[in-house]
Amino acid sequence: MIDLHTHTDQSDGSDSPPRLVQLAAAHSLEALAITDHDTLAGYDLAAPDAHEAGLELICAIELSTRVERQPGAPRSPSIHLLGYFPDRPPDAGFRDWLSHLQQSRYARNVSLVDKLQSLGIDISLEEVRALGRNLTGRPHFARVLLAKGYVRNTQEAFDLYLADNAKAAVEREEPSVWEGVRRIASAGGLAVLAHPVRLAAEERAGLDGFVESLIDEGLAGVEVFHSEHCAADVDRFLRIARKFSLVITGGSDYHGDNKPGISLATGRDGNLSLPYRLIEEMRTYAERVASI
């Protein structure tokens, strides 16, 4: 059994990278991919422990991207791309690009603090960064708002203050989904459309055409299996992946205590059991692309 979609405390998970490796070994996983948001720090920190434990660790990442809408249209939700580097980590150029994304995240966080303070909320970037560490984001803001009694739960924090159309909303610079695909592919990785069930209605309705437009930029696969995918979702996404001869991937989207309903490898209520064959097919696809 494998899990190709997990997060550590280097983004928005609760477990440290060494702890996640321990859990994977305890579950007798054959392979694990750490897909922290916009950073490879989790993979870097986990690699020595994975080697010692005899666990195959796949270098991977989850990128936040967007589709540009027409002027005046509402800002579209983020579209997540998974990038897999099954044979070797990406080069310095890709890491430099990630550093630029992290700088834009920091600038957004500064503006978000300013907006929240203007609404009478006592909050500082330092206390939020104490939770978020290297990759502070809105979930960490939500936890601070909850701890200070400004909201009843983290969902309310997003609804009132943090969501794209909420009181303190601040747009963050994100690459287009097409650029994200190109960046992963040019760095030698396999770009995979993450959890398609979360796409905005427009992309979900025309999913075949949307996927086809990304293939032109180098899209390699679709995350067919996910904790949030029901049987009908799996059937639909599997059909699309096969239609375009794309890699089929899957994972739990494990976040530890930050998503208590999701278990490593087995997903939500045991809806996942992914075979090692998916990694073998991923490598076969990568070899075929490299030979073209």
Quick: pLDDT tens for 240-290: 999 999 999 999 999 999 888 999 999 999 999 999 999 999 999 999 888
What is the DSSP secondary structure assignment for residue 163, as one 8-state letter?
S
Q: Any idea what the CATH number is for the domain that residue 8 is in?
A: 3.20.20.140
**% of the chain exceeding 90 in pLDDT:** 77
From the CB of residue 88, how many other CB atoms can be counted at a distance below 10 Å?
9
Domain residues for the domain of 273 are 2-93+189-291
pLDDT value at residue 11: 87
d(CA 188, CA 205) in angstroms, rounded, equals 30
In a domain, 69, yes or no: yes
User: pTM of the prediction?
Assistant: 0.90
- Domains contained in the chain, number: 1
Q: Which residue from 292, 233, 289 is spatially nearest to 84, judged by alpha carbons?
A: 289
In a domain, 203, yes or no: yes
pLDDT value at residue 291: 78
In a domain, 61, yes or no: yes
Quick: pLDDT tens for 136-146: 888 889 999 99
Query: Are the C-beta atoms of 105 and 98 separated by less than 8 Å?
Result: no
In a domain, 104, yes or no: no
d(CA 141, CA 164) in angstroms, rounded, equals 14
Quick: pLDDT tens for 69-121: 655 556 677 899 999 999 999 999 999 999 998 888 889 899 999 999 999 99
Query: Does 227 have pLDDT greater than 60?
Result: yes
d(CA 196, CA 96) in angstroms, rounded, equals 28
